[in-house]
Amino acid sequence: MKTILTEASQRNLAAEVYWSTREPLSVRFEGGQPSAVLQDRVDQCAIRVIREGKLGMACGSRPDGTVLAAAEEAAAGGAEAPFAFASDHATAEDPGAKEAVAVEADELLDLSEQVHRLTLQKRSQIPLVVHATRHKETVRIATTSGFDDEQTRSFVTVTVNAPFHQAGSRVWKSRVLETARLDPQELSEEFLEWYAWGDTISTPEPGRLPVLLAPEASFLLTMPLTAAISGEALHQRTSPLEGKLNEQILGDEISLMDQPHDPLGRKFDDEGTPCADRHLVEQGILKGYLFDRRTAALLSERPTGNGFKRALFGGGPWSPPTAWPGRLSVSAGRNDWRDMLAEIDRGLLVYGGMGFHSANYLQGNFSVQALGYHVQDGTVRGRLHGVMVAGNIYEDFHGVRVSRDTVRHTEFESPYVLVPELQVAHGG
């Protein structure tokens, strides 16, 4: 990388080199035996340059002169670059989990086999799939301004899933671990309970009904909010939250933090800007926005360490950095989620939804075909089929209740959220 930066400086280019090395190790267990054991190494790089005030980017498998030349060529017709690349600084201690690096294939096979065996002991005919993966990614960033650092994240995910009988939908449960230690009995029993709820179909009457969002469905809240507090939306004047710092925007039980210093998080973003844990929403009050280096410069703000190569529906090393949370956490509440479920006379328990992209999510709207269950008299009656759920987070997420139980996923952590009323309709 130093050679590339030296070459860039000799050509009067400001340059940033992003180099990602991913080394996944995964095991797939189905039909009573392992069906796949895969280990890989993928190198991807992106080089950005600023030439005469214009920004260019090019991608490749490894940083070399060819990628640098392509980035310089792209800058000739690129957009204005109102910002500078990261310079040398004292970064925080790397929070990335490292224990999982030592996890081997036989440990993943053992985890998968235990979950698979325990589950099929109770429901032998389920077309069950158990997938265990040790994730490892090292990201190194270096710039002509003097920044040069790297960070490694490594963790294990275990997912158990199966389609419902004669249905296109499926249910899944997962765990994210910093090591290979897992209670397979707990995961198996949780999956079996949720799968059994889907043995029958039960359809609620349409109308405005209470909806209990499982942690897996928290994206109905977090994705519209993330889009609205992005520096890009603020710059384009399309955000409904522009100028609303310290105002009440959600119910007072809802608090969200960006927690990149979680062991699964980052010490710096994909531009080399230091990350920091901070409140975005506190007891329903808006406390902060997300800025990458470009949008911060455009809005005369300081970058917040939120320049990540992600997008609402994608991302990757080839993507330009955009304002995004380092690791989003919805804070736990005081309620037991099963108690909240038991209080629903007529409503839904939702763990997912299809078609989110079709709504005007930037303004807080969502409308999805719900994946979940019909709840009546505090009891799950059966899985949903052809049921739509719609709402607006700024109108409907007041008076919500939040569980003390949280579920940890790779990029977020969330409790159960009971929304007093959402619009429920039959999808035809």
Cα separation, 158 vs 363, in Å, equals 35
Cα separation, 77 vs 61, in Å, equals 24
The closest alpha carbon to 220, from 25, 427, 54, 400, belongs to 400
Fold adopted by 2-193: PmbA/TldD fold (3.30.2290)
Burial 246-282 (b: 16+ CB within 10 A, else e): eeebbbebbbbbbbbbbbbbbbbbbbbbbbeeeebbb
407: its two tokens? 């579920």
5: its two tokens? 């930066």
Cα separation, 210 vs 217, in Å, equals 15
Strand partners of residue 375: 347, 380
CB 322 within 8 A of CB 306: no
Strands 322-323 and 307-308: antiparallel
**Half-sphere exposure in the Cβ direction for 239 (13 Å, CA):** 21
Beta strands, E only, 24-92: 25-30, 33-39, 42-51, 54-60
Place of tokens 């994946």: 371
Strands 328-330 and 412-426: parallel
271: its two tokens? 């531009």
Cα separation, 29 vs 184, in Å, equals 14
**Half-sphere exposure in the Cβ direction for 354 (13 Å, CA):** 11
User: If DSSP codes are grouped into helix, strand and coil, which group holds residue 228?
Assistant: helix
Domain ranges within the chain, ordered by starting residue: 2-193, 200-428
Nearby residues of 280 by Cβ (< 8 Å), 6 or more positions away? 225, 229, 256, 257, 258, 286, 287, 288, 290, 325, 328
Cα separation, 399 vs 421, in Å, equals 10
CB 299 within 8 A of CB 231: yes
394: its two tokens? 């700024």
CB 194 within 8 A of CB 371: no
Residue 94 has what pLDDT?
65
41: its two tokens? 């190494």
Nearby residues of 45 by Cβ (< 8 Å), 6 or more positions away? 17, 18, 19, 20, 59, 60, 61, 62, 63, 67, 317
Place of tokens 């899944």: 172
Beta strands, E only, 187-238: 207-213
Tell me the H-state helices in 256-305: 293-298
Report phi then psi at 211, rounded to 5: -135, 125
Cα separation, 80 vs 42, in Å, equals 32
Q: Where on the phi/psi map is residue 175: left (φ > 0), alpha (ψ -120 to 50), or beta?
A: beta
Between the CA of residue 39 and those of 24, 26, 204, what are the distances in Å?
6, 6, 45
Tell me the H-state helices in 215-353: 219-228, 231-235, 293-298, 337-342
pLDDT along the chain (428 residues), means of 10: 93 96 94 88 96 96 94 95 88 62 87 94 93 94 95 93 88 87 92 96 96 96 96 97 98 96 88 95 98 97 95 82 95 96 97 87 95 97 95 97 93 95 88
